[in-house]
Structure 1
Amino acid sequence: MAGKEEKHNSGQGNSELMRQYTESPEMQQQLYRKTLWVVVFSQILGGAGLAAGVTVGALLAQDMFGDASFAGIPTALFTLGSAGGAYLVGKLSQKFGRRPGLAAGFFIGGAGAVGVILSAVADNIVMLLISLLFYGAGTATNLLSRYAGTDLASSKQRGKAISIAMVATTFGAFAGPNLVGVMGRFAESISIPALAGPFILAAAAYFTAALVLFLFLRPDPLLVAQAVANKKELDDKVLNKSAADIPAINSRGVFLGATVMVITQIVMVAIMTMTPVHMGNHGHSLSAVGMVISIHITAMYLPSLLTGVLVDKIGRTAMVIAAGATLLSAGTVAALAPGGSLPMLVLALALLGLGWNFGLISGTALIVDSTLPEARAKTQGTVDVLVALSGAAGGMLSGMVVAGYSFSTLSFGGGFLALLLIPVVVWSLGHSNAKTARSS
């Protein structure tokens, strides 16, 4: 009886807290700012975790398989795993809130990183492949965390909120690849293969991120946003406003945002995956590979603050076009760069990261614009599943293309694929203009 009464009182307390938030825009803004701080800290940790697989995943597979044509498999697998992770985190978040969903995703990713370490020690390829799938859940969660900051953001704050979450990833993502040598030596000192060393860092980072989110992401921003939306809907019905009839999902806007993120993900993953192998074939050291990848990841996240402002100020579609042009430039430079030219490879991978940044933030903003809280987390998770699957395809095919043709062919193909973003945007603008004309 005492347990039931305590649970009942706890439920009443939660209901009272939600009522206070729904009636106080000031409390909503305070929670918005607090959520951003929690997300920022978890993103720093998540960035360090994801950098391990990006930097040495292909090299570890090449070493264990003994064949460069399999080098794209790790990226494909942990990206495929991130698809499952995105679906799981999206479902959990929609039903129970961001806190349990994101914490579970990072925990699974940490477990996967531990599995990679054990498989390297045992030289067990089957265990490696399975572990990479679980490791991918951390990658998905790191990306899905960006949505948590937008739950209580206004339409004019969304680009900035996404960018703050993403720029935080820069700190961990930049440090991760630059610690490859240090973690490799540490791993060897405890009888673990050097290439598995970065996954020790990944495991610690993902487990800590899970703990931070579980302990501090309270009250849950998505649950508060849902309560605010429900109150607004009831108020609109009382006042007989048509706003209450707005659908929870704008399918065309979701399609546009998803297409933008899918194309940018394919291009980025394909070229990035094979760059370490391409550099290794031309005599570059592991430290040089780590530097190039760290610059690439920095370019993926560090410009986010500026990108977020541009997305809010000049619009989503303008930044989508910028993404296509930048990715084309990246592919062209990578294709034409001599294999031994470190500066040219740095430039190509920096442009690749920047183009991905433009595409991801503008696409994310389009998804948030096109959904209401009652369907937002589930839709976001579903879209990120598509993004992850496209990345898995890009990673898997990249090794085959390079083995069958060349790194230049892969780079040129990726650059021209990015040009598809421009007709997609033109189609979207044409539809919007036609719809406006019909309504006027």
Structure 2
Amino acid sequence: MTPAAESRPARPVATSGTRPPRAVADLPAAQRRTLIVLVTAQILSGAGLAAGVTVGSLLAQELLSSTSLAGLPSALGTAGSVLAAAIVARISQSRGRRPGLATGYLLGALGSVGVIAGAAADSPALFFTGLFVYGAGTSTNLQARYAGADLASPAHRARAVSTVLVATTVGGVAGPLLAAPTGDLSAGLGIPYLAGPFLLSGAAYAIAALVLAVWLRPDPLLLARTVDLGPDEPSARPEQRRTGVTVGTLIMVITQLVMVAIMTMTPVHLQHHGHGTAASGVVIAIHLAAMYLPSPLTGWLVDRYNPVAIAVASGLTLLAAGVVAASASDVAPLAVALALLGLGWNLGLVSGTAIVAGATRAATRASTQGLVDVCIAIAGAFGGLASGVVVAEAGYPLLAVGGGVLALTVVPVVVLAARLDCRQHRRREECGP
């Protein structure tokens, strides 16, 4: 595609005797409005997401008096995100992004209420049920990145994804830093101190749902189905699309599993070395900033260079994070390790998302992307559940090193995919279409 072709606005699909809607005629304006609304919702949801991450494992350890089950909150929340990802994708596929994302955030708010009620009543059953529903906020926060790419041109797809992701940084950093103040507020209300951040989560998710329900108009996915965003989508062969979806999914699954496993047990590791909730909040805030803040640069790199190279960089960065974390017990080196962990996850998520988005058609995009995120959520659930067991049996250093080594499997996956694509390209040149 020539540079001139890339800069042309999307073309309305030709229909007999009809005029395209005004939003279709001004697609760039619709994309700008979509990104503004999504960014606003992501700032709010980032706070809701981060608050639970900071204290979930500590609250479970307090309720159950067991370190081996400290990874259960992350596992349950991520397991809940599996179901939520399917629900949000199904609603988005049939009715659009607006009702799908709003429903997901409402479920996240409801789950926050359940967590608070369970902690206040000292009821593990209610607490864990609430965590399961709370996971909907996590999966919805991730699925919002696809909405940012719905109306983006192929040449700017990764940057659109990164714009949505980076907005999570503001709330993601504020959430953990508010862990202590919300804990004090919670204690003043007669609720356990560690349940305080979930007060913030519930309010943040509810407001994010309201923002999307009222202002995400026109719906980006429904609008994308009425326009042709460029010749690369219809010209892609079925086998290329399948390979792209598979490779992009594997990249994101591996990075999610490693990130969740190490992140989940870091607050517990800090506590075992005499550090309090405030220290955990700082480390997690740095981690979440590294997960989302580099997104604009990552998006530019993916658009400018091959996403395969960025995916390889993801695996190497996660390995470095695991090595640093394995040898750390103080706040500063663990903050560095968690920053590398967040950066590696970001590189994998943006590159993998761009690959998947480029390999899906608008007509079936939401359902395919929902299935991809279900796989990601399952990987995260496994990582969260296994992390507590590994730390209880073998220690945090082994978990960190093992996660880093596992992340290296990204490299052979993307290299093999690149070689297969190259062979298919040569075959087409030799044999014709």
Match of 1:282 in 2: 273
1:299 equivalent among 290, 296, 305: 290
SS in 2 for 1:156: helix
Query: In the alignment, residue 309 of structure 1 is paired with which amino acid?
Result: W
CA distance in structure 2 between the partners assigned to 1:99 and 1:16 by the alignment: 25
Match of 1:360 in 2: 349
SS in 2 for 1:263: helix
In the TM superposition, residue 243 of structure 1 has moved relative to its aligned partner by 4.5
Residues 248 and 375 in structure 1, CA contact (< 8 A), matched pair in contact too: no
TM-score (norm 2): 0.93
CA distance in structure 2 between the partners assigned to 1:319 and 1:244 by the alignment: 25
Match of 1:371 in 2: 360
Residues 249 and 372 in structure 1, CA contact (< 8 A), matched pair in contact too: no
Match of 1:403 in 2: 392
CA distance in structure 2 between the partners assigned to 1:351 and 1:260 by the alignment: 17
Match of 1:382 in 2: 371
Match of 2:405 in 1: 416
Q: 1:335 to 1:372 in 2, by over 3 A?
A: same
In the TM superposition, residue 308 of structure 1 has moved relative to its aligned partner by 0.5
Q: 1:30 to 1:67 in 2, by over 3 A?
A: same
Residues 90 and 377 in structure 1, CA contact (< 8 A), matched pair in contact too: yes
CA distance in structure 2 between the partners assigned to 1:290 and 1:309 by the alignment: 30
Q: Deviation string for 1:250-294 (max 9, x for gaps)?
A: 111000000000000000000000000000000011101100000
Q: 1:166 to 1:401 in 2, by over 3 A?
A: same
Alignment of 1:64-75 (within 5 A): 64-75=63-74
Alignment of 1:88-127 (within 5 A): 88-127=87-126
Q: Deviation string for 1:364-412 (max 9, x for gaps)?
A: 0011000010011111111001000100000000000000001000001
Residues 177 and 291 in structure 1, CA contact (< 8 A), matched pair in contact too: yes
1:19 equivalent among 21, 25, 43: 21
Query: In the alignment, residue 21 of structure 2 is paired with which amino acid?
Result: R
1:315 equivalent among 306, 314, 328: 306
Match of 1:9 in 2: none
CA distance in structure 2 between the partners assigned to 1:174 and 1:343 by the alignment: 17
Is 1:427 aligned with 2:426?
no
CA distance in structure 1 between the partners assigned to 2:299 and 2:148 by the alignment: 13
Match of 1:140 in 2: 139
Residues 323 and 355 in structure 1, CA contact (< 8 A), matched pair in contact too: yes
Q: 1:187 to 1:249 in 2, by over 3 A?
A: farther
CA distance in structure 1 between the partners assigned to 2:158 and 2:423 by the alignment: 26
Is 1:57 aligned with 2:56?
yes
| Unpaired stretches in structure 2, ≥5 consecutive residues | 1-16
Alignment of 1:164-183 (within 5 A): 164-183=163-182
Query: In the alignment, residue 36 of structure 2 is paired with which amino acid?
Result: W
Q: 1:412 to 1:438 in 2, by over 3 A?
A: same
Residues 18 and 224 in structure 1, CA contact (< 8 A), matched pair in contact too: no
Structure 1 runs of 4+ aligned residues shifted over 2 Å read: 15-22, 242-249
SS in 2 for 1:284: coil
Match of 1:256 in 2: 247
CA distance in structure 2 between the partners assigned to 1:32 and 1:16 by the alignment: 23
Is 1:86 aligned with 2:85?
yes
CA RMSD of the aligned region, Å?
A: 1.9
Residues 23 and 218 in structure 2, CA contact (< 8 A), matched pair in contact too: no
TM-score (norm 1): 0.91
Query: In the alignment, residue 114 of structure 2 is paired with which amino acid?
Result: G
Query: In the alignment, residue 299 of structure 1 is paired with which amino acid?
Result: A
CA distance in structure 2 between the partners assigned to 1:244 and 1:348 by the alignment: 43
Match of 2:186 in 1: 187
Residues 296 and 346 in structure 1, CA contact (< 8 A), matched pair in contact too: yes
CA distance in structure 1 between the partners assigned to 2:165 and 2:32 by the alignment: 15
Match of 2:3 in 1: none
Residues 31 and 151 in structure 2, CA contact (< 8 A), matched pair in contact too: yes
Is 1:438 aligned with 2:410?
no
Query: In the alignment, residue 390 of structure 1 is paired with which amino acid?
Result: A
Query: In the alignment, residue 376 of structure 1 is paired with which amino acid?
Result: R
CA distance in structure 2 between the partners assigned to 1:45 and 1:21 by the alignment: 27
Alignment of 1:199-238 (within 5 A): 199-229=198-228
Residues 248 and 372 in structure 1, CA contact (< 8 A), matched pair in contact too: no
In the TM superposition, residue 19 of structure 1 has moved relative to its aligned partner by 3.5
CA distance in structure 2 between the partners assigned to 1:413 and 1:271 by the alignment: 10
In the TM superposition, residue 20 of structure 1 has moved relative to its aligned partner by 3.6
Residues 240 and 421 in structure 2, CA contact (< 8 A), matched pair in contact too: no
| Unpaired stretches in structure 1, ≥5 consecutive residues | 1-14, 237-241
CA distance in structure 1 between the partners assigned to 2:108 and 2:23 by the alignment: 33
1:347 equivalent among 323, 336, 341: 336
SS in 1 for 2:225: helix
Moved more, 341-350 or 98-107: 341-350
CA distance in structure 2 between the partners assigned to 1:31 and 1:350 by the alignment: 35
In the TM superposition, residue 245 of structure 1 has moved relative to its aligned partner by 8.8
Query: In the alignment, residue 336 of structure 2 is paired with which amino acid?
Result: L
In the TM superposition, residue 16 of structure 1 has moved relative to its aligned partner by 7.6
In the TM superposition, residue 246 of structure 1 has moved relative to its aligned partner by 5.6
Residues 58 and 73 in structure 1, CA contact (< 8 A), matched pair in contact too: yes
SS in 1 for 2:21: helix
In the TM superposition, residue 227 of structure 1 has moved relative to its aligned partner by 1.3
